[in-house]
Amino acid sequence: MAEKIPKSDRFEHLGNIVLTGDRPSGRLHIGHYAGSIQKRLEFQDQYDHNFIMIADMQALTDHAAGGEAVSQSVMQLAIDYLAVGLDPEKSTIFIQSLVPELTELTVLYMNFVSLARLKRNPTVKNEMQQKGFGETVPIGFLNYPVSQAADITAFMANLVPVGNDQLPMIEQTNEIVRSINYTYQAEVLRECEAIVSKTGRLPGTDGAAKMSKTVGNCIYLSDDEKTVKEKVMGMFTDPGHLRVEDPGKVEGNPVFTYLKAFDPDQDLVQEMADHYRRGGLGDVKVKRHLLEVMQDLLTPIRTRRAEYEKEQDQILAMLKENSAKASAIAHKTLTQLKQVMSLDY
Ligand code: TRP
* Cβ–ligand 1 contact at 22 (below 6 Å): yes
E strands of the chain, at which residues? 17-22, 49-54, 91-95, 159-162, 193-196
pLDDT digits (tens, 9 = 90+) for 186-227: 999 999 999 987 777 899 999 998 888 888 899 999 999 999
**Ligand 1, atom 5, residue with closest C-alpha:** 22
Of 7 and 60, more confident: 60
- 42-79 exposure pattern, b = at least 16 Cβ within 10 A, e = fewer: ebbeeeebbbbbbbbbbbbbbeeeeeeebeebbbbbbb
**Ligand 1, atom 6, residue with closest C-alpha:** 21
Cα torsion 290, 292, 296, 300: sign: positive
Q: Compute the distance between CA of residue 342 and CA of residue 48 in angstroms, rounded to an integer.
A: 33
Question: In what side-by-side order are the strands of the sheet with 159-162?
Answer: 91-95, 49-54, 17-22, 159-162, 193-196
How many Cβ atoms sit within 10 Å of the Cβ of residue 272? Answer: 21
pLDDT digits (tens, 9 = 90+) for 275-285: 999 999 999 99
Q: Compute the distance between CA of residue 1 and CA of residue 102 in angstroms, rounded to an integer.
A: 31
Average pLDDT value for residue range 20-47: 92
pLDDT digits (tens, 9 = 90+) for 284-312: 999 999 999 999 999 999 999 999 999 99
For helices 167-183 and 122-130, the axis angle rounded to 10 degrees is 130
Q: Compute the distance between CA of residue 169 and CA of residue 175 in angstroms, rounded to an integer.
A: 10
Q: State the DSSP code for 33.
A: I
Torsion over CA of 144, 150, 151 and 156, rounded to 10 degrees? Answer: 150
Q: How far is the CA of 300 from the centre of ligand 1 (A)?
A: 27
* Cβ–ligand 1 contact at 173 (below 6 Å): no
Residue 92 pairs in a beta bridge with 51
Q: How far is the CA of 20 from the centre of ligand 1 (A)?
A: 6
* Cβ–ligand 1 contact at 55 (below 6 Å): yes
Q: Compute the distance between CA of residue 111 and CA of residue 91 in angstroms, rounded to an integer.
A: 32
Q: How far is the CA of 291 from the centre of ligand 1 (A)?
A: 31
pLDDT digits (tens, 9 = 90+) for 3-22: 454 556 789 899 999 999 99
State which amino acid sits at residue 54.
Answer: I
Q: Considering the entire predicted model, what is its pTM? A: 0.91
* Cβ–ligand 1 contact at 21 (below 6 Å): yes
Average pLDDT value for residue range 167-192: 97
Q: Compute the distance between CA of residue 52 and CA of residue 216 in angstroms, rounded to an integer.
A: 26
**Ligand 1, atom 11, residue with closest C-alpha:** 21
Q: How far is the CA of 336 from the centre of ligand 1 (A)?
A: 24
State the average pLDDT for the chain. Answer: 94
**Closest alpha carbon to 155 in 82, 89, 98, 99:** 99
Best residue among 17, 19, 22, 174 to mutate for probing ligand 1, ranked by most atoms within 8 Å of CB: 22
